[in-house]
Structure 1
């Protein structure tokens, strides 16, 4: 089973649309969003482009109007969680979270979670930095930022849950 993993879309409509179209063209049927969607209009765009695709998300530290975000997710039969959540997909247990505090704090937290939890992978966002590592055999992934605001690059990942291999997709953000 292949999934797409995105994070930190931060209302960049052009980048969100471009990434969502690439995901749709690739035929992936599940997207994991690791937070900082920000506004309901970004979810409306995702719903428009990602027809027939399931989205599982966690809230980030910058997400606003949480009630409307949750309502839009629910109406689409998508899942949105307020904090870290272990999800089961393709026979794998995956911990999804946004992140907390500084880059160093988030990376330390994720490393410790990967070392201590009974999961196959830990997916996180928040830092806007791409990371693909193995920690005690677990895939640790940050797909970077869709928005491109900090790096000038729009990035996301495809993950094959059968092989636990991640492929980072990067393009100019055009912000």
Structure 2
């Protein structure tokens, strides 16, 4: 199972709930679509034997330390990832979303920034904005878990 989240914005209460989800659903890969804010939230998401992929968001001020503490696994977006037969594009701001979607190059496109939950299938591409993991802006904190082979997903409220 994969976990997709975004806009955690230093909410440690919600981060602790995400830790429980990681264990409960036996998450193998985590994709964070940006706006961690500070490096002290990373231990909630960086776990032994779980692959972690992230991109910087517009509110990430301590980029050097975020990069260092994540073993360079947080990158500027859009960031293209190849995992076996899957091609994934992860970004924070959805500036290239339409062109990436129309390119039909990706199995999955993950993005954040808007704090709005979006799940859309476009031809063979599954597009996911998991909403905000922090709940600060909308009052609703969500993440998405995904079984990549079947492309079946579940929205989880924190």
TM-score relative to the length of structure 1 = 0.84
Q: Check if 1:91 corresponds to 2:85.
A: yes
> In the aligned structure 2, how far is the partner of 1:111 from the partner of 1:70?
28
> In the aligned structure 2, how far is the partner of 1:89 from the partner of 1:63?
26
Shift of 1:117: 4.4
The number of aligned residues is 158
> In the aligned structure 2, how far is the partner of 1:10 from the partner of 1:90?
31
Which of 118, 131, 138 is matched with 1:144 structurally? 131
Q: Describe the superposition over 1:123-173 as per-residue Cα deviations: whole angstroms up to 9, x where unpaired.
A: 1000111111112331111000110012212100111110122211113xx
- Residue 36 (structure 2) aligns with: 37
> In the aligned structure 2, how far is the partner of 1:147 from the partner of 1:125?
12
Q: CA RMSD in A?
A: 1.6
**Structure 2: segments with no counterpart, 5+ residues:** none
**Structure 1: segments with no counterpart, 5+ residues:** 100-105
Structure 2 counterparts to residues 74-113 of structure 1, below 5 A: 74=71, 79-99=73-93, 106=94, 109-113=96-100
- Residue 144 (structure 2) aligns with: 157
- Residues 159 and 45 (structure 1), Cα distance of their counterparts in 2 relative to 1, 3 Å cut: closer
Shift of 1:90: 4.4
Q: Check if 1:118 corresponds to 2:117.
A: no
Shift of 1:54: 1.9
SS class of match (2:70): helix
